[in-house]
């Protein structure tokens, strides 16, 4: 299914909870604040089944809040895997519970994992996340490698005056541990950040110059056109760096739909209010064709740029 800009929807980003045990200063709440209780495990499974069928896709990423705060998360992963519709199942996590859950998640069918890591300095990590848990997260990363997750990506939101001096340390850490580093530029459009312009102005780092510098050192650069046209930079020391830079190029390559933890389906991180709640269709026992029509309305609501 394509939107009005001829962008085909290829994957789903599914929030299973809005609960989180962290209080990161840059959190964007996945662009969405839930308006009712969380979907049940069965509702999540049914929505995943229907989306895979009507959109003809096989890629999904589970998010939160913090998805590992959802007590049934392993059951959710197992149920969706058992649909035999998704070939690529991944998750974004803060890593707090990962050492305990990694093996169960892998056995349940999760393929890949992204781990937020704001700093390698315990004091800075605590300042950004509100938690003194850096060592616990590092243990989670190690455990995820041991059980077989591949690739493991490290999400690093670059913040001026806080962690922007750690870039080379983070590149070395990820290269030495055979991880992929995702450099993420702070954006200004979500409610959680956009309503605090002073924080954005104080903390924002334009990644353009950093990207240029990395490319000058690179042994290879390619572009992931199916992932917001992001650049992947291959460094001589074995490091792999992806750069996520908000802007028109970001939007031009977007092939994603999002599902909020209460069933709101929407097409853009910055425009959750244009979404449609698809839980109601399940409760009303709507047909698959009715579900497809609801999804089509959301797809057609997507704008060229945020």
In terms of Cβ atoms closer than 10 Å to its own Cβ (0-12, 13-18, 19+), residue 219 is: exposed
pTM: 0.91
Q: What single-letter DSSP state applies at residue 247? A: S
d(C-alpha 93, C-alpha 129), whole Å? 13
* Mean per-residue pLDDT, 141-167: 96
Q: Which residues of 8-27 are buried (b: 16+ CB within 10 A; e: fewer)?
A: ebbbbbbbbbbbbbbebbbb
Q: What is the pLDDT of residue 250?
A: 64
Please give the CATH number for the structural domain made up of 11-301: 3.20.20.70
Q: What is the pLDDT of residue 299?
A: 83
d(C-alpha 17, C-alpha 191), whole Å? 18
Please say if the pLDDT value at position 52 is more than 70: yes
Q: What is the pLDDT of residue 298?
A: 83
Please say if the pLDDT value at position 270 is more than 80: no
**pLDDT mean across residues, the chain:** 89
Q: What single-letter DSSP state applies at residue 138? A: H
Q: Select from 83, 104, 101 the least CA-distant residue to 93.
A: 101
SS3 content of the chain, % helix, strand, coil (to 5): 40, 20, 40
Q: Which residues are 240's β-sheet partners?
A: 180, 234
Helix (H) or strand (E) holding 103: helix 98-108
> Tokens in use for 126?
């605590």
* Mean per-residue pLDDT, 196-209: 85
Q: Select from 50, 37, 34 the least CA-distant residue to 294.
A: 50
Please say if the pLDDT value at position 228 is more than 70: no
């Amino acid at each position: 299914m394509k939107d009005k800009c001829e962008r085909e929807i290829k994957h789903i980003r599914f929030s299973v909870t809005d609960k989180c045990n962290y209080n990161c200063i840059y959190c964007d709440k996945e662009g969405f604040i839930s308006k009712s209780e969380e979907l049940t495990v069965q509702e999540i499974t049914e929505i995943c089944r229907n989306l895979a069928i009507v959109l003809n896709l096989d890629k999904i990423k589970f998010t939160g809040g913090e998805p590992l705060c959802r007590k049934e998360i392993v059951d959710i992963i197992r149920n969706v895997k058992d649909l035999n519709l998704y070939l690529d199942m991944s998750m974004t996590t803060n890593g707090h519970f990962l050492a305990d859950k990694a093996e169960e998640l892998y056995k349940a069918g999760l393929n890949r994992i992204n781990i937020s890591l704001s700093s390698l300095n315990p004091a800075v990590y605590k300042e950004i996340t509100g938690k003194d848990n850096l060592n616990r997260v590092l243990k989670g990363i190690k455990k995820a490698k041991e059980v077989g997750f591949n690739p493991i990506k490290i999400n690093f939101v670059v913040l001026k005056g806080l962690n922007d001096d750690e870039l080379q340390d983070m590149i070395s850490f990820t290269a030495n541990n055979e991880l992929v580093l995702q450099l993420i530029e702070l954006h200004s459009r979500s409610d959680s950040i956009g309503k605090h312009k002073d924080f954005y102005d104080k903390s924002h780092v334009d990644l353009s110059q950093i990207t240029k510098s990395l490319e000058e050192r690179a042994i290879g650069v390619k572009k992931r056109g199916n992932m917001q046209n992001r650049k992947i930079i291959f460094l001589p020391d074995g490091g792999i760096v992806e750069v996520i830079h908000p802007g028109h190029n970001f939007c031009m390559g977007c092939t994603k739909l999002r599902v909020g933890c209460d069933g709101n389906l929407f097409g853009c991180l910055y425009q959750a209010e244009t979404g449609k709640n698809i839980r109601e269709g399940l409760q009303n026992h709507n047909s698959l064709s009715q579900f497809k029509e609801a999804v089509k309305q959301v797809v057609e609501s997507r704008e060229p740029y945020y």
